[in-house]
């Protein structure tokens, strides 16, 4: 089980899962859901290494380890803290 804190609110998520659902539940806006619009950009405050590597869509949008697209991002395990 992994944990994601979004603006200090804690959510439990399964290891190796997309974070999009929990981010959407929290109120982070989404639009394209395919990594091309940038609407869902989040800032990673802690635990960037607990997220999977940036995928091609995130690289194309000039994301980095502390700026990710919530619609593309997978949590590996452990604790990640983000804001948006």
Question: Interface with ligand FES by CB under 6 A: which residues?
Answer: 30-33, 35-40, 69, 71
Q: CB nearer to ligand FES: give 2 or 70.
A: 70
Q: How far apart are CA 19 and CA 5, in angstroms?
A: 11
Q: CB nearer to ligand FES: give 18 or 33.
A: 33
> Shortest gap between Cβ of 65 and ligand FES (angstroms)?
17
Q: Which residues neighbour 7 within 8 Å (Cβ) at sequence distance 6 or greater?
A: 26, 83, 84
Write out the H or E segment, with its range, that includes residue 46. strand 41-46
Q: CB nearer to ligand FES: give 35 or 47.
A: 35
């Amino acid at each position: 089980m992994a944990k994601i804190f979004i603006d200090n609110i804690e959510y439990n998520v399964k290891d190796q899962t997309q974070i999009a659902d929990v981010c959407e539940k929290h109120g982070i806006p989404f639009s394209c859901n395919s990594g091309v619009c940038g609407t869902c950009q989040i800032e990673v405050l802690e635990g960037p290494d607990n997220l999977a590597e940036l995928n091609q869509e995130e690289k194309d949008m000039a994301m980095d380890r502390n700026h990710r697209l919530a619609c593309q991002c997978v949590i590996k395990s452990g604790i990640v803290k983000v804001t948006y």
